[in-house]
Amino acid sequence: MSLSSSSSWKKSLGGALAASLLVATGCESPEVVPTADKQQGIQTSRIEGTLVVQARTRGNAVVFLYDADRPPPPQGTGRPIAFTIVPAEQLFGPALASDSPGPFTAPFAFSLVAKGRYTIRGFIDVDTCRNSGAQPCHFSDFNPWYGVTSEPNLGDIGGAAVDLGATPPRPLTLEVAEDKEGRLHALTNVTVSFSQATSQVPFDRPSFQVSVQGGGDATITPGSQGKVLRLTPQQFENVGPVDQRGKAFLVSYVDPARAAQQEEKQREVWPRVVVRKLAEPTGLLEDNDLDRNGVLDANGTDYTGDGRPDLVVLRAGIITDALIPLLTDTDGKPRTTPVPVAELTVGVTPMALDASNPAAPVPLAELPKGRYSVVLIQSTGQTWRVPNELSPTIAPVLGTQGVESQAFVLEVP
């Protein structure tokens, strides 16, 4: 007798015995009441739909679910709540070995979705070694567990669930809400679109190395003049799972039209830089975000005395003096396309801020001691951070040789 038949037989026998006992004893079914366990009482739903891809290149589809109030770079600093991967074999089917542009479709789903407002974004993790014959080529290399492998690279294809009724189109906000009876209903028929013609990633991530301009150590002390950092591109050609080949930083105005009306010192440029406090004493975790979910830990350190955890950053920014002339055309107007530059200079001052509300950072009375990372955010939303998993003390986890430059930290002694 097979296992499934045995299981069915046991269930039938159990049901018959239970029914006979109820008849024999005259007992009624026990009362069922809601559990007092709040964790078990949480309702969840699901979001599902279809991926639609128009592309001649091939790769796995990586789909992210975000809190609508915490968008990812460049709009914000949010991290995915969940992700799912649809293999290239399922997405492209018999056309996997061809360069047919499609469109191709495949289902996707997110389960255990709580009540809330969400957006969906993603990318095709293109394997240029599969069909194109391009050299150098790179394989599909997304790995969510490491910062150096968790974002799209040159040639990947971006996508999102888009609100086509908006001008210009923007990510569609999906709301999982309760009905009149307090139940959550599934969101279905959600379309996530990817187009090589309009959304192919034009650059690699802005990988870099840091040096302190003028020499000296990488420490910042209260009352000092701060530090000027020199950032230069650093390429990684198949360093374990990492393949970044960018030879320059791509600089542009955040808003060229607005820049034309502003004084030079007021103009905002990409990339942007963030110098954020790390958790102590070692490692890569960020202060007050030990579970890496992008939300400040409820029991995190309160540096301001307001009873809430703080997101501590040092006041820092790209020094634009040498960039403004490059971003101005021969007619004296702001350029609307990115300009490659060989280095960036970053000014870091001995002033700490609580950036838990990025729109209104609050100065801290003191400079919190500890280590600080340097994060560069590109206009495409791609980022790079030092220190990272290529640090010599951490790289063995990736099975690769460490790179000393990727261990850089600023320190407040």
pLDDT single digits (tens) 135-181 = 677 788 898 888 999 999 999 999 999 988 887 888 999 999 988 88
413: its two tokens: 């002694």
* Whether residue 104 has pLDDT greater than 60: yes
Q: Which of the pair, 401 or 72, is modelled with greater confidence?
A: 72
- Distance between CA atoms of 252 and 317, rounded to whole angstroms? 15
Q: Which of the pair, 346 or 43, is modelled with greater confidence?
A: 346
Per-residue pLDDT reduced to its tens digit, 347-364:
999 999 999 988 899 999
The total of other beta-carbon atoms located within 10 Å of residue 396's CB is 11
| pLDDT value of residue 167 | 79
* Whether residue 190 has pLDDT greater than 70: yes
| pLDDT value of residue 170 | 87
Of 152, 43, 41, 88, give the one whose Cα is nearest residue 381. Answer: 152
Per-residue pLDDT reduced to its tens digit, 363-393:
999 999 999 999 999 999 999 999 999 999 9
| pLDDT value of residue 195 | 95
Q: What is the DSSP letter of 27?
A: P
| pLDDT value of residue 31 | 58
380 and 74 in contact (C-beta within 8 Å)?
yes
* Whether residue 18 has pLDDT greater than 50: no
378: its two tokens: 């590109």
Please give the average per-residue pLDDT across 57-71, as a whole number: 94
Amino acid code (one letter) for 281 = P
394: its two tokens: 């951490």
Confidence of residue 28 (pLDDT cuts 50, 70, 90): low
Per-residue pLDDT reduced to its tens digit, 293-306:
888 999 999 998 88
| pLDDT value of residue 32 | 53
Percent of the chain having pLDDT more than 90?
61
| pLDDT value of residue 34 | 53
* Whether residue 3 has pLDDT greater than 90: no
Mean pLDDT, rounded, of the chain: 86
Q: How many helices (H) and strands (E) does the chain have?
A: 4, 24
Confidence of residue 105 (pLDDT cuts 50, 70, 90): very high
Per-residue pLDDT reduced to its tens digit, 207-234:
999 999 888 899 999 989 899 999 999 9
| pLDDT value of residue 21 | 29
Of these ranges, 8-12, 35-39, 308-312, the one predicted with the greatest mean pLDDT is 308-312
Helices (H), 213-260: 256-259
Helices (H), 26-87: none
The distance of Cα 390 from the centroid of its chain, to the nearest Å, equals 19
User: What are the residues whose beta carbons fall under 8 Å from the beta carbon of 68, sequence distance 6 or more?
Assistant: 116, 117, 118, 119, 173, 174
- Distance between CA atoms of 395 and 104, rounded to whole angstroms? 38
Q: What is the pTM of this model?
A: 0.85
* Whether residue 17 has pLDDT greater than 90: no
311 and 276 in contact (C-beta within 8 Å)?
yes
Per-residue pLDDT reduced to its tens digit, 248-295:
999 999 988 888 888 877 889 999 999 999 998 888 999 999 988 888
Beta bridge partners of 395: none
